[in-house]
Structure 1
Amino acid sequence: MARIFITGSSAGLGQLAAKSLISQGHRVLLHARNQNRKQDTLESVQDAEDVLIGDLSSIEETKHLAEKVMALGTFDAIIHNAGVYRTDQEKILTVNTLAPYILTCLIEKPKRLIYLSSGSHKHGSPSLERIKSGKGVSYSDSKFHDLMLAKAVARKWPDVYSNAVDPGWVPTKMGGRGAPDDLDKGYETQVWLAVSDDEKAKVSGRYFYHKKEANYQSKADDTELQDKFMDVCEHATGVHFPE
């Protein structure tokens, strides 16, 4: 039995992944943005270990969330599922890029880390100037950042399986009702990477789509760019990555 923490798990793919993991007998700690969402989540996922509150659009609240997670002990896997799409660029940067960086740095490293990226990362810019200015970061940029973070962590923490996932364009609140991809396949890869003993899942620094390694923007493999990205995130958040 594994113990897993999932961010952004009050609804959508995060909650579906949680329900799947719980049905397999695993212990799952969930996360919601506020008290109202926590209550709704507890009613929807009654067998969850608990639901922690933290608004990831606030750097300070994200740091406090990390403290709450640390107070509850260690985890076998963490799924960085939380993300925003149709909102202002500052919030996209804080939630999609900086929050997973902060939580990765401040929570004791688990055995497995899964970061939610997107096929749109291929249109993301490798320029880090937008992070430095705090403006102009698009959703595609942030999903490229998540892929780069997964790869940087895989390189810096060789004892951890760290991977990125494209869940596809699925019919969730974020994706919209007309999204063409399979909803179940949208969360199955995260679950598989979190707990499976399949040798294909026990790898690191990879990018997956529907349980298979997929093509990605090759600039994410640039180790010098990865290091600069980590430095820029440290400067933006005041949080140092523990190598």
Structure 2
Amino acid sequence: MTPIVFVTGGNRGIGQEIVRGYAQEGCKVLLGCRNEEDGEKVKKDIVGADIQIIEMDLSNDQDIVDRIVRAEAVYGRIDVLVNNAGVMDDADWQELRPAKLKRSMQVHVNGPLNLMQTLLPGMIERNYGRIINVSSGWGSFNEGMEGPLAYAVSKAALNALTLKLANGIDSDKNIKINAMCPGWVHTRMGGRDAPRTPEEGAETAIWLGLLDKDGPTGKFFRDKKEISW
């Protein structure tokens, strides 16, 4: 079975390289992005790949459900979900406005939860599914929660969501739900001083989506190695 993969925020940076990586593995990739034109540019760049564009606004919960239900009706199923879309608000605690924190939580937690709630029943019924939540060491308690408040707190919540949902799936089911940290990557969000390429940042997300039945679940990874929450 060739997996059908849905990647949010797939039009640039790490997300674009996640899309490219799965396409190179022979997967059909559904590229999620806010603007269809941005997705089409990526599609043209990855020549010969089976990529379809799903325009989706993660701030609109009903739009998420409608788009995913429609995609599954058209393509039959979605086997792998990569919650990659992200936002960065670098305001400190004194300046952070509630609306900014709410936006970070929507993109990093509420949107991914909505997608997982929509897709997991089908994955469980088919006894196959892989979910990868792109998180960050900045949301790790073990690493000191060093990132900006909105980013760190929302990524920590995404980590908690990953572990909670993974623990809620029967162990005999072939469902793997994991989080990963791409490291400090040279993207628009990461900045020009970041030492890692988007390709390097994408590798673990691709690996987790192609895990075999004996692979891990409910874990946090960086460079394909487990790290502490």
Cα distance in 1 between the residues matched to 2:25 and 2:35 = 28
Displacement of 1:100 in angstroms is 0.3
1:171 to 183, 186, 190: 186
Whether the aligned pair in 1 keeps the contact of 2:72 and 2:78 (CA below 8 Å) is: no
Cα distance in 1 between the residues matched to 2:163 and 2:140 = 15
Equivalent residue letter for 1:101: L
> In structure 1, the residue corresponding to 2:140 is in which secondary structure?
helix
Alpha-carbon RMSD: 2.1
- The answer to whether 1:100 aligns with 2:112 is yes
2:81 aligned partner: 78
What percent identity do the matched residue pairs reach? 29
Equivalent residue letter for 1:45: I
Alignment of 1:16-165 (within 5 A): 16-46=17-47, 47-71=49-73, 72-86=75-89, 88-107=100-119, 108-109=122-123, 110-122=128-140, 138-158=150-170, 159=173, 160-165=175-180
> In structure 2, the residue corresponding to 1:139 is in which secondary structure?
helix
Change (3 A) 1:123 1:205: closer
Cα distance in 2 between the residues matched to 1:178 and 1:86 = 18
> In structure 2, the residue corresponding to 1:175 is in which secondary structure?
coil
Cα distance in 1 between the residues matched to 2:30 and 2:40 = 14
- The answer to whether 1:12 aligns with 2:13 is yes
Equivalent residue letter for 1:212: K
Structure 2: gaps (5+ residues): 91-99, 143-148
Alignment of 1:199-218 (within 5 A): 202-216=215-229
Cα distance in 2 between the residues matched to 1:215 and 1:23 = 30
Structure 1 runs, 4 residues or longer, greater than 6 Å off? none
Cα distance in 2 between the residues matched to 1:85 and 1:66 = 25
Cα distance in 1 between the residues matched to 2:138 and 2:157 = 11
State which drifts further: 46-55 or 138-147: 46-55
Cα distance in 1 between the residues matched to 2:213 and 2:32 = 27
Whether the aligned pair in 2 keeps the contact of 1:4 and 1:75 (CA below 8 Å) is: yes
Cα distance in 1 between the residues matched to 2:202 and 2:113 = 21
Displacement of 1:7 in angstroms is 1.1
Whether the aligned pair in 2 keeps the contact of 1:123 and 1:141 (CA below 8 Å) is: no
Equivalent residue letter for 1:155: N
Whether the aligned pair in 1 keeps the contact of 2:58 and 2:106 (CA below 8 Å) is: yes
Displacement of 1:198 in angstroms is 9.0
> In structure 2, the residue corresponding to 1:114 is in which secondary structure?
strand
Equivalent residue letter for 2:150: S
Displacement of 1:96 in angstroms is 1.0
Change (3 A) 1:169 1:19: same
Structure 1: gaps (5+ residues): 125-136, 217-243
